[in-house]
Amino acid sequence: MNKIVLKLGGTIMALFLVVLLPLGFVANQIFTNFYYNQVQQEISQLSAKYARNMTSLDDRTFIKMFVNLADLTNKEIIIINQQGEMVANSGVGLPHLSEKEVEQLSNGQSISKRVEDPVTNKNYLASGNPIYQGNKISGVFFVMADIHDIEEPVRKIRDLLILSAVGALFLALGFTFVLAKKMSDPLLEMEQATRKIAKGKLDVRVSIRSNDEIGTLAKAINDLAMETNRYRSNRREFFANISHELRTPISYLQGYAKVLKQGLYQSEKEKNLYLEIIDQESDRLVHLINDLFDLAKMEEGKIDLSLSFIDIGGILESAIVKLKVETVKKGIELEVISNNVLPRIKGDPIRMEQIFTNLLSNAVRYTEQGKITARAFLNKQHVHVHIEDTGMGIPEEEIPYIFERFHRVEKSRSRQLGGTGLGLAIVKNLVELHNGTIAVESRVGQGTTFLLSFPVERGAE
Ligand code: ADP
C-alpha cells in the first residue's frame, strides 16, 4: 500500500475528527438548548395567558374550550383547584409538585419543570401559573409539552448532521486517495528512473507532469541523466582519442626501432633519418603525456595556481623569445606591441606563459609566410592580448569546436606539424582559471586572431 496515501488519509481523518467532533457536539448542544428554550418560553407564555383568561373554574364550556385549544396547539393542559384537585385535563395525569413549588404557586409565582405522567410514564415540560379569581388564587393552570415532540426534530437534525459528516469524510478520503496517488505516482516513477540511472541506463527520462516542486524534481533528474550521459560519452571519446593518440607514436617507435635492430637500412643517412624520427616521436609522446596530465588535472579542478601580480607584457616577451628560432627558420616575422603602462594582473606566471606559448606555437605551426603579431593593451579594467597571424585560417564551421580536446581541423596536417590536439583545450582551461575569456576570429587563407582578456583586480598596480 502506498505510504503517502496512508499518511495523508490518516492526517485528514484525524483533522476531521479533531475539528468535526467538538463542532458537532457544540452544535448539537446549542441546537437542543435553543429548541428547549423555545418550547419552554412558548408554554410559559401560554400558561400565563390561559391562567389570566381563566375567570371561573366552574364554567365547564369555558374549560372545554381550553382543552380544545390545547389540542389545537399540540399541548396538554391541566387545571387544578386550590385544593390540588384536578378540575380539567387534556388526557395527562396530574404531575407531582414539591412543597416548594406549591409554596411558589400560592405566592403567585409561576413554575417550570420537567414532569413524568404517572400513568403513561411519558415526559413533559410543564409550566404552571396561578389562576386568580379577584385577588384570591383559585387554582393553577398547567400547560405541558411532550418532550418526545421536542426531541424528535432535534434528533432528526442530529441524524442529518451525522450523515452529512460521514458523507464529507468519505468524500475527503476519496479526494485524499486521488491526491496522494497524483503525488506519489510521479515520485515512484522518479525512484524507478533514478535506480535505472544508477545502473547506467542513462537514456531514461522522467515525464514532467507539473511545474511545481515535483515537476522541477523530475526535470532535475532528467538534467542529471543528460549531464551524466554527456559526461560518459565525453569520457569514452576521450579514452578512445587518448589510446589512438598514444598508439600512433608508439607504432612509429616500434616500427623504426625494429628496422634499425634488424639492420634494414641502406645507408648511414637512412639510419640517421630513422633515428631522427624515433627522437621526434618520443618527444611528441612526452609532450602528449604532459598535456594529458595537465588537462586531466585542470578538468578535475586539481590544478593549483601560484598566484602573484604578474606583468603580462613581460611574460609575452619571454614566450616570444622561445619561438624566435622557429620563426626565423620559417622566415616569419614576429612582433610584440605592448603598452608599457599595463597594470599587473593576478595570475600564475608559468601558466600564463604556457597560454601564450601554446597560442604562439599554433600561430607559427599554421602560418607559412607573413607575420605574427602579439598585442597587449588595457581597455575597461581588462588587459587584452591579441595574437594574430597571417596563416591558413580556420573554416567558420570549425570555430565552435577548436577548443575541444583532440579536435583538429585537418587531422593529418596537425599531426604532421607536431600538434597533439590538446593545446587549445588547455589554453581555454587556463584562461578560465584566470577568470579570463578567449575568443577567436579567423578567415581561411588570411589568418587567425585569438583574443584574450583578463580582469585587472582592484589594488593591482
Ligand atoms: P593542435 O595540437 O592540433 O594544434 P590545438 O588544440 O592547439 O591542437 O588546435 C586545435 C586545432 O585548431 C588545430 O588542429 C588547428 O586545426 C586549429 N588551429 C589552432 N590554432 C590555429 C591557427 N593559429 N591557425 C589555424 N588553425 C589553427
Question: pLDDT tens, 195-212?
Answer: 999 998 888 898 888 888
- The pLDDT confidence band at residue 438, using thresholds 50, 70 and 90, is very high
Report the pLDDT value the prediction gives residue 368, as an integer from 0 to 100.
Answer: 87
Using most ligand atoms within 8 A of CB, pick from 287, 394, 441, 446 the residue to mutate for ligand 1.
Answer: 394
Q: Give 256 Cα–ligand 1 centroid separation in angstroms.
A: 28
Q: What does the pLDDT read at residue 412?
A: 62
pLDDT tier at 300 (50, 70, 90 boundaries)? Answer: confident
Cβ 347 under 6 angstroms from ligand 1: no
Give the residue from 257, 180, 248 showing the smallest Cα distance to 412: 248
342 lines ligand 1 (CB under 6 A): no
Residue with CA nearest ligand 1 atom 20: 362
Q: Is 366 touching ligand 1 by the criterion CB < 6 Å?
A: yes
Q: How many Å apart are CA 104 and CA 108, to the nearest integer? A: 7
Q: List the one residue out of 202, 461, 184, 199 whose CA is nearest residue 342.
A: 461
User: Which CATH topology does 213-299 take?
Assistant: Helix Hairpins (1.10.287)
pLDDT band at 307, cuts 50/70/90?
confident
Backbone angles phi, psi at 437, to 5 degrees: -130, 155
Domain(s) labelled CATH 1.10.287.130 in the chain stretch across: 213-299
> Which of 16-25, 254-263, 294-303, 385-394 shows the lowest per-residue confidence on average (mean pLDDT)?
294-303
Query: Atom 4 in ligand 1: which residue has the minimum CA distance?
Result: 419
* Residue 138 in contact with ligand 1 by CB distance below 6 A: no
327 CB within 6 A, ligand 1: no
The Cα–Cα gap between 212 and 202 comes to: 24
- Cα 407 to averaged position of ligand 1 atoms, centre (Å): 8
What is the DSSP pairing of strand 371-379 with strand 333-338? parallel
Decide yes or no: CATH 3.30.70.3150 for domain 308-455: no
How far does the centroid of ligand 1 lie from the alpha carbon of residue 392, in Å? Answer: 10
Confidence of residue 427 (pLDDT cuts 50, 70, 90): very high
Lookup: cell for 179: 491526491
| Environment class of 120 (CB within 10 Å of its CB; exposed 0-12, middle 13-18, buried 19+) | exposed
Q: How far is CA 430 from the centre of its chain?
A: 36
Q: Is the CB of 180 under 6 A from ligand 1?
A: no
Ligand 1 centre from 339 Cα, in Å?
28
Size (the chain), residues: 461
The confidence score (pLDDT) of residue 416 equals: 64
Residue bearing the bigger pLDDT, 245 or 261: 261
What does the mean pLDDT of the chain come to?
87
Q: Is 447 in the pocket of ligand 1 (CB under 6 A)?
A: no
Pick the residue with more confidence: 120 or 192? Answer: 192
How many C-beta atoms surround the C-beta of residue 151 within 10 A?
Answer: 15
DSSP β-bridge partners for residue 338: 376
pLDDT attached to residue 341: 79
List of residues 6+ apart from 102 with CB closer than 8 A: 84
pLDDT band with cut points at 50, 70 and 90 for residue 411: low
- Give Cα 64 to chain centroid, integer Å: 82
Residue 417: the pLDDT is 64
Q: How far is the CA of 96 from the centre of ligand 1 (A)?
A: 119
Instruction: State residue 173's pLDDT score.
Output: 84
- The atom number, within ligand 1, closest to the CA of 393 reads 25
Confidence of residue 192 (pLDDT cuts 50, 70, 90): very high
CATH code for residues 3-152: 3.30.450.20
CA 101, CA 120: separation in Å to the nearest integer? 23
Residue 196 is predicted with a pLDDT of 93
pLDDT at 461 over 60: no
Residue ranges, CATH 3.30.565.10, the chain: 308-455
pLDDT value of residue 432: 92
Give the per-residue pLDDT at 459.
Answer: 60
Q: How far apart are the CA of 326 and the centre of ligand 1, in A?
A: 17
Residue whose CB lies within 8 A of the most ligand 1 atoms, among 360, 372, 402, for a mutation test = 402
Per-residue pLDDT for 66 more than 80?
Answer: yes
Contact (Cβ atoms closer than 8 angstroms) between residue 288 and residue 419: no
Q: Over the stretch 93-147, which tens digit does the pLDDT of each residue have?
A: 888 888 999 899 889 899 999 988 888 888 999 999 999 888 888 899 999 999 8
Q: Contact at 8 Å (CB) between 427 and 359?
A: yes
- SS3 per-residue string spanning 392-447: CCCCHHHHHHCCCCCCCCCHHHHHHCCCCCCHHHHHHHHHHHCCCEEEEEEECCCE
**Kind and range of the H or E element at 103?**
helix 99-106
φ, ψ of residue 429 to 5 degrees: the values are -60, -45
What pLDDT score was predicted for residue 249? 81
Cα(15)–Cα(9) distance, integer angstroms: 10
- All CATH 3.30.450.20 domain ranges in the chain, comma separated: 3-152
